[in-house]
């Protein structure tokens, strides 16, 4: 089977900042994604609604990739990888509910072991490899 290397960049923090502000939060300062997750774990209803909505939308985006490419695995990295397992389960539910059954039957959605450091370490590795005159 051919292997596909697909990188999906999602501008997560900026979108969730806007959502949290428009859904009634009284905060004046910028809120990090980590803080929003922590607020949702403490049963802040606005944060819970925003996190659930975000997970549903990410899942729909991943469902499109699943339906088009039928990958074996999708690795969730960045700040999303550092969220609670319940958030990843919401993404899985949405992705699998919105993709074709024959495309999703073998797909695994997993958390990146490097979490939010995955992208920077991958970029550094790629840069050093290219500087050494090699190709990946």
* Euclidean distance between CA atoms 114 and 92, whole angstroms: 20
Three-state SS string over 23-51 comes to CCCCCCCCCCHHHHHHHHHCCCHHHHHHH
Every domain of the chain and the residues it spans: 12-131
Answer with the residue of higher pLDDT: 103 or 16: 103
The residue-averaged pLDDT of 33-45 equals 86
φ, ψ at 50 (rounded to 5°): -65, -45
Superfamily, domain 12-131: ATPase, nucleotide binding domain (3.30.420.40)
Model confidence pLDDT, tens digit, residues 67-117: 999 899 998 887 788 788 999 999 999 999 999 998 888 899 998 888 778
Q: Would the CA dihedral through 74, 77, 80, 82 be positive or negative?
A: positive
Locate tokens 């990843």: which residue? 88
Prediction pTM value: 0.71
Answer with the residue of higher pLDDT: 56 or 37: 56
Model confidence pLDDT, tens digit, residues 114-136: 877 877 888 899 999 999 998 87
Answer with the residue of higher pLDDT: 93 or 20: 93
């Amino acid at each position: 089977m051919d292997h596909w290397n697909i990188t999906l960049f999602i501008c997560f923090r900026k979108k969730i900042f806007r959502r949290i502000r428009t859904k009634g939060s009284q905060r004046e300062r910028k809120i990090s994604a980590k803080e929003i997750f922590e607020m949702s774990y403490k049963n802040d209803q606005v944060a819970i609604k925003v996190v659930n909505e975000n997970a549903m939308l990410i899942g729909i985006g991943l469902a499109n990739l699943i339906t088009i490419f039928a990958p074996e695995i999708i690795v969730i990295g960045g700040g999303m990888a550092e969220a609670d397992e319940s958030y990843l389960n919401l993404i899985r539910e949405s992705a699998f509910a919105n993709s074709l059954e024959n495309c999703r039957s073998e797909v695994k959605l997993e958390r990146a072991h490097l979490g939010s450091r995955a992208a920077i370490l991958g970029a550094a590795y790629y840069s050093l490899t290219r500087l050494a005159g090699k190709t990946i």
